[in-house]
Chain A
Amino acid sequence: MAKLFAVTIILIAIASAVPIVRGTWTQPVDISTHGHSIDEQFHETMWEAGLAFLAAQIVLGLFIWTSAGRGPDAQIKRFPGGATGLVLAAVFLVGTEVIALGIFGVNAWAQVYFAPPGPDAMPIQVQAGQFAFYFRYPGPDGKFGPIHPDKIDEANLNFFGLDYDEPATKDDIVTAEMAIPVNREIHLLMHSKDLGHSFYVRELRVQQDFVPGLDVSLHFTATKVGRYEIVCTQLCGLGHYNMKTYLEVMSQQDFDGWLKKEAAMQ
């Protein structure tokens, strides 16, 4: 039975690695300027963690194979190098890995969170609420009018609680889907109406929680025209699974036309 177990462990380990090596189920295509550094970090980690996984399972299997069934008179052998060797190996190998991943990981994280948005970044406000996203574009004046939670009235399509008598609000454009021009930096201002939600676009390599009571911002640049899903990843209630909308990445010309059309519909 020990030998069968040893072989099973090794086969399961190899079988687990096959879909990763073959790329059977893999990350969606990256459409952001920063995503490549996240992906590189991911692949680097996959190499290191994958090799550690395979090595540990195979050696575990081999040692089960060789040590089971040894009679009561068999000599107990000591692993070469003993505990000291293994501790040094763990500290050196994993420690190096920890430092390397830690240092390189800072770069990928910094691109997303530490670099401020450029002065030309296009501001878009996104509001999350049970169970829909709404987006607001500031209009020609470039300013968002203030939000008044007490004026929120979904039945009358006032999702943000806007007072259209206020000058900065008059030209604001509210939409249910998000459209952005390709290769243009977006400064996303995130606001929750009610509870915790999250903004996740797989292809953009962006995931950020909305924090009720706190305005959070993100910035990113999409590099490929297309239609992508925006989904909520923070459990927000019974309709959480269905809280989604779409991100439409367009050419600048198409975007200008879309925004004009949306403005006319307000």
Chain B
Amino acid sequence: MHDVSAPAVHHGPPQSFISKYVFSLDHKVIGKQYYALALVAVFTGMVLSWLMRLHLGYPDLKIPGLHLLSKIGAPGDVMTPEYYLQLMTMHGTIMVFFVLTTAPFAAFGNFFLPIQVGAEDMPFPRFNMMSFWVTFVAFLVLIAAFFVGDGPPLSGWTAYAPLSAVGAVAGPGQGLGQILWAASIGIFCIGQLLGSLNFITTTLDMRTKGMSLMRLPLSAWAWFITSCMGLTAFAVLMPACILLILDHVAGTSFFIPSGLVINDQLQPHSGGSTLLWQHLFWFFGHPEVYIAIVPGMGIVSHVLITNMRRPLLSYKVMIASMTSIAFLSYMVYGHHMFVSGMNPTSSLVFSFPTLVITIPATIITLIWIGSLYGSRLRINAASLFALGFISMFVAGGVSGFFLAQPSIDIMLHATYFVVGHFHLVMAVAAIFGIFAGTYFWFPKMTGRMMNETLGKIHFWFSFVGAYCIFMPFHYLGIMGNVRRYAQFVDDYMQPVLGVHKFITIAALTTGAAQLIFLYNLIYSRFWGAKAPDNPWEGTSLEWSTTSPPPWDNFGGKHLVVHHDPYQYGMKSSTGDYIMQTSPEPSPTGE
């Protein structure tokens, strides 16, 4: 047992509107700001995906008002191929960086990590405030690409060089648009580095008395592990973005080799390496996949345990498995590059840890499912989304087995199989984790309950809809349907264009159902039923304070932790659980 007692906060209560709601030092406000940013981003990204799906399903369709978004990209309201790619680039970038990274990690982590460890705030509140505002600026810089020059870049969220490095000569958006993209992502990295530092120090140094590492909730462990990944991954992407900008503006050739002839113009570059960008990008990119999903694993574990009324079969195995995934995530990135021209022996070397990483992922899944057995499962919107997360994680995870093998990747690389795989395992699963966290923690964050009926309706549309959208992608990929095409003009693809129409209809329906969530969120925020302090009969420290918590989290009290985080399933004075702060002895002695 350690003897750390929670240090006092470094700042007093906010004195003005600006210091309370805008440039706030309070981790809870910063968490909400991140959540609001992610919400704006996710609906922006979703609208872009609607436009893309409409174009793929019905390439000649006039989308009323589209020319208002881009005169060049949509003459007569019909989308051009280049505008499709520009929307695709922005969809991927917004979703990966400003939704999947910010919501499960920065939003929920900011709000709940200090509370779950029993601290009054993070150790560096000004860095924390800066982290959000830097991320906000990054978002504005990215969105600005829509409104300057010939629009956003069309090189995809992976921005492969030399397409991303040679400038406007390579196509619309590849000049100023691409520079703004790289600047945005570079700025975003700064925000996440500051956030990661705060998360790590909060976990290691700010725990209250009795809160040993092995008494942290699994959500706190997940944020801690994720912040360790973030610290190393974003530290690589940021300099890569700087080098990319230099290739544009300073005449350098980090990613551009000699002798390239684009649009009949011999390019004035020499000595660069296109594969260097891929190595740097994916050294960040694959840990990023786990930065998106590991917080979801922690949130889902936390939500499920509370709703199963029992601890997981093994707390330590969960931590070990999440840590193994984080460790292995740096050794697997080369599986994105099997057919890139990288040394083929490297492909085999990268393949093995990619296959091995399925072992801890399987262990985590089996622990969840095994813990469900014989539990007292409570069905509510939060637990439905947590269970849906498991289903999606399995569905998307098994297709990873194919893509981990270089020989099979020869067929499946750059096809819709990859799109189906990563959307299920990384995007849909992670978003289900965000929904589970939202329905679960909303009462604590706002002091009001969300509407359960609307939450369940939202779940059904999302669960069935996600399968209807993303499972057919796998079949199309197996056939050899290439991704990142603005239209499918291959002779080979003509017989299956109906599948794309089906996916488009499913995507529009599922997307529209998200408005139910948005309505529920906004309505409940102002007019929802008042939330009790502990509506779900939880045990961890966030349930030991008021809903919402006061500015210093615990009203000046310094909590003492007596138990591990998941004392459920026994008879106690409170029912079937003992809170971490309760001095009541536990039958398990933990």
Contact = CB atoms under 8 A, between A and B. Distances in A.
A216 interface: yes
A86 B313 contact: yes
Contacts of B367: 83, 86
A109 B489 contact: no
A216 B339 CA distance: 11
Interface residues of A, number: 106
A89 B155 CA distance: 43
Contact of A216 (B341, B362, B376): B341
B154 A238 contact: yes
Interface stretch (B4-12, B36-44, B217-225, B478-486): B478-486
A26 B478 contact: yes
Contacts of B266: 149-150, 152
A225 interface: no
Given A16-B467, A207-B414, A45 B401 contact: yes
A129 B490 CA distance: 18
Contacts of B314: 82-83, 87
B133 interface: no
A136 interface: no
Interface stretch (A60-68, A162-170, A249-257): A60-68
A240 B484 contact: yes
A244 B569 CA distance: 62
Contacts of A200: 414, 480, 482
Contacts of A89: 366
Contacts of B63: none
A12 B471 CA distance: 10
Contact of B262 (A28, A50, A130, A244): A130
A76 B401 contact: no
A221 interface: no
Nearest to A194: B262
Contact of A214 (B257, B363, B410): B257
A176 interface: no
A45 B354 CA distance: 14
A27 B365 CA distance: 30
Interface in B483-510: 483-492, 496, 499
Interface in B359-416: 359, 362-363, 365-367, 369-379, 384, 387, 390-391, 394-395, 398-399, 401-402, 405-408, 410-411, 413-415
A264 B371 CA distance: 74
B408 A212 contact: no
A71 to B, nearest CB: 7
B310 interface: yes
Given A27-B411, A38-B411, A112-B410, A79 B373 contact: yes
Given A41-B408, A105-B408, A25 B172 contact: no
Nearest to B341: A211
Nearest to A211: B341
Contacts of B406: 105, 109
Nearest to A28: B480
B353 to A, nearest CB: 10
A98 B355 contact: yes
Nearest to A46: B402
Contacts of B19: none
A261 interface: no
A258 interface: no
Given A235-B85, A236-B163, A86 B374 contact: no
Given A101-B401, A233-B482, A213 B259 contact: yes
B244 interface: no
Contacts of B484: 235, 240-241
Nearest to A193: B261
A8 B313 contact: no
A139 B10 CA distance: 79
Interface string B293-323: 0000000000000001110111001000000
A109 B264 contact: no
Interface stretch (B267-275, B326-334, B551-559): B267-275
B348 A109 contact: yes
B391 A57 contact: yes
Interface residues of B, number: 110
Contact of B407 (A28, A41, A211): A41
B154 A237 contact: yes
A148 B367 CA distance: 61
Contact of A244 (B154, B313, B387, B490): B490
B308 to A, nearest CB: 7
A67 B308 contact: yes
A231 B490 contact: yes
A139 B166 CA distance: 35
Contacts of A63: 369, 372-373
A76 B309 contact: yes
Interface string A222-266: 000000010101111111111010000000000000000000000
Given A235-B160, A240-B485, A229 B491 contact: yes
Contacts of B275: 211, 214
B147 interface: no
A26 B351 CA distance: 25
Interface hub of B258, B372, B487, B499 (most chain A Cβ within 10 A): B372
A196 B162 contact: yes
Given A25-B478, A207-B414, A241-B489, A86 B341 contact: no
Interface in A91-136: 91, 93-95, 97-98, 101-102, 105-106, 108-109, 112-114, 129-130
B172 to A, nearest CB: 6
Contacts of A237: 82, 85, 154, 163, 170-171, 174
Given A64-B387, A105-B408, A241 B377 contact: no
Interface in A205-220: 205-214, 216
Given A74-B376, A97-B401, A149-B266, 9 more contacts: A67-B376, A87-B314, A98-B359, A112-B407, A200-B482, A213-B274, A234-B414, A236-B163, A240-B486
Interface of B: 80-82, 85, 154-156, 160-163, 166, 170-172, 174, 256-264, 266, 272-275, 308-310, 312-314, 317, 339-341, 344, 347-348, 351-352, 355-356, 358-359, 362-363, 365-367, 369-379, 384, 387, 390-391, 394-395, 398-399, 401-402, 405-408, 410-411, 413-415, 456, 463-464, 467, 471, 475-476, 478-480, 482-492, 496, 499, 569, 575-576
16 contacts: A2-B379, A41-B407, A86-B366, A98-B358, A101-B401, A102-B352, A106-B348, A112-B410, A161-B261, A193-B260, A195-B260, A195-B262, A196-B274, A213-B273, A229-B492, A234-B414
Give the 6 A-B residue pairs with the shortest CB-CB distance, closest first: A213-B257, A77-B374, A83-B314, A108-B407, A238-B82, A241-B485
